[in-house]
Amino acid sequence: MKIMKQIFKFVAILAIIIGVASCSDDDDNTTPDPNVVYETTLSGANEVPANSSEAKGTATLTFNKDTKIFTLNVTHDIATPTMGHVHKAAAGENGSVIFPFTSLASPISFTSPVLTEDQIADLNNGLYYVNIHTELFPGGEIRGNLVKK
């Protein structure tokens, strides 16, 4: 009888140990973050051709892979911008306007429409840049190509 009690205690302790060990911190079934972040620094040196502006800025674009929409936040120190938008072109090249901003005062907050598969590919391939224009620099005072963080 004494041996049976010891065996029972051993089995009970073993069951508790196995039960606790199987309760791990398993994160395999968590949903992956649908957001991809792109960033850039805006400067006159990034314009094509480069200019002597001392203005500067930053841009952060957050693309949601589920909704296929991005939000873009731009800050700059330009007192009177005349235009601002996202263009399509590689660094060192000029390209056409893809997404015009409706507000130019810093900070700019812009939400895109649903992107097409081609637009998503362009974004992923680094073909989008932010450009802020002024009267002094009508072709663009500060610019920066968006790069995946």
Residue 39 inside a domain? The answer is: yes
Residue 4 inside a domain? The answer is: no
50 close to 147: Cβ distance less than 8 angstroms = no
Q: What pLDDT, on a 0 to 100 scale, did the predictor assign at position 30?
A: 84
Tens digit of pLDDT per residue, the chain (149 long)?
677 666 656 555 655 666 555 555 555 668 899 999 999 999 999 999 999 999 999 999 999 999 999 999 999 999 999 999 999 999 999 999 999 999 999 999 999 999 999 999 999 999 999 999 999 999 999 999 999 99
Residue 15 inside a domain? The answer is: no
Residue 98 inside a domain? The answer is: yes
Model pTM score: 0.79
Residue 40 inside a domain? The answer is: yes
Residue 10 inside a domain? The answer is: no
Q: What pLDDT, on a 0 to 100 scale, did the predictor assign at position 15?
A: 55
β-pair partners for 99? 86
CA distances in angstroms from 24 to 21, 60, 67, listed in the order given: 7, 37, 33
Residue 1 inside a domain? The answer is: no
Residue 2 inside a domain? The answer is: no
Find the domain containing 139 and state its range.
Answer: 35-148
What does the CA dihedral 40, 80, 53, 55 come to, rounded to 10 degrees?
-40
Domain count, the chain: 1
